[in-house]
Amino acid sequence: MSAARPLFLRRLIPVLAVVALGLAACGDDGDSDAGDSDSASTSESSMESSSAPAGEMSLTVGGANFTEMLIMEQLYGQLLTKAGYTIDYKTADNREIYAKSLESGEIDVVPEYAATMAEYLNLDANGPDATPIATNDAASTVAAMTPLADAKGLVVLQPAAAADQNGFAVTKDFAEKNSLKTLSDLAALGQPITLAATEECPDRPFCQPGLEDTYGLTIKEVLPLGFGSPQAKQAVLDGKAQLVLTGTTDGTLDGLGLVLLEDDKHLQLADNLVPVVNKASAGTPELADALNGLSAVLTTEDLSQLIVRVDGDRELPEDVAKDYLTQKGLI
């Protein structure tokens, strides 16, 4: 799995910067504000019209090289093809590589994660001791990173409701038996919890410490079985653990009899999917309109199901992207 993935074991934010963020309590729902018109208008105000018609423009869509991002790249590319652009694709194994290509114009458009990209830009501009700017609200996170992006010749468009964040799941049977829908519901049971997660979880603010400080959960043990691994999920299915750490776009959960509990106190940062474009080469209102149309409809559940089709059913990213865009009336 690429280091560009946003989840806390893979994100490019140093631990000290994340700890300093202190977001273990409350905030507005990032997903509910993902399509906030203020953030969209702020970003789009930086867009410049190109002198060439879309049909005469060739653009490169790039980004990270793992399933979720390959699907997003196809979604963006096919939308832009529909808008009249000629599209090439270029992927890289880490953010440091493709971000530099985006800044130079070698890549014109990338799908990104709002909070992770915000902190990447923040630390790059202000150093390792920079005060974190990412929050658990997508619109405010995009607004905070916009000046940093602009300084690099980049434009951040409208974030989608779809978000790839740390998630915590229980068995469906356990959830139904105890009427669990949220992490607060789990905490209200007052039961000590065994958590199947990563060996770093006890030290990570968005894992055990966050669950204990924000929700009041009692984590009696962490089984070091990895992030959303088959072994971690099996430990919950076998009753060796009650809770498993995975990603919110993990599409395997339903088939295994597992269900995510809502992060109702908004512990996790807003890693909503968001287009980032090179202003000089791709900063047109037409391009923004095309990509913002996807952001307006894409949900976490939608994305998780597309991932299942690629990873589970062995379909091609370009095929599942085309099906989705067709179903949504976008192409």
**All domains of the chain in start order, with CATH:** 15-163+269-327 (3.40.190.10), 166-261 (3.40.190.120)
Cα–Cα distance for residue pair 118/165, rounded to 1 Å: 15
pLDDT in tens, 298-325: 999 999 999 999 998 999 999 999 999 9
pLDDT in tens, 154-183: 999 999 999 999 999 999 999 999 999 999
Q: Which amino acid is at 279?
A: K
What pLDDT was estimated at residue 7? 42
Tell me the whole-structure pTM to 2 decimals.
Answer: 0.80
The residue ranges of the chain whose pLDDT is under 70 are: 1-56
Q: What is the 3-state secondary structure (H, E, C) of the chain?
A: CCCCCCCCCCCCCCHHHHHHHCCCCCCCCCCCCCCCHHHHHHHHCCCCCCCCCHHHCEEEEEEECCHHHHHHHHHHHHHHHHCCCEEEEEEECCHHHHHHHHHHCCCCEEEEEHHHHHHHHHHHHHCCCCCCCCCCCHHHHHHHHHHHHHHCCEEECCCCCCECCEEEEEEHHHHHHCCCCEHHHHHHCCCCEEEEECCCHHHCCCCHHHHHHHHCCCEEEEEECCCCCHHHHHHHHCCCCCEEEEECCCCCHHHHCEEEEECCCCCCCCCEEEEEEEHHHHCCHHHHHHHHHHHCCCCHHHHHHHHHHHHCCCCCHHHHHHHHHHHCCCC
What pLDDT was estimated at residue 50? 43
Cα–Cα distance for residue pair 277/105, rounded to 1 Å: 9
Q: Which residue has the tokens 């203020």?
A: 38
What pLDDT was estimated at residue 55? 54
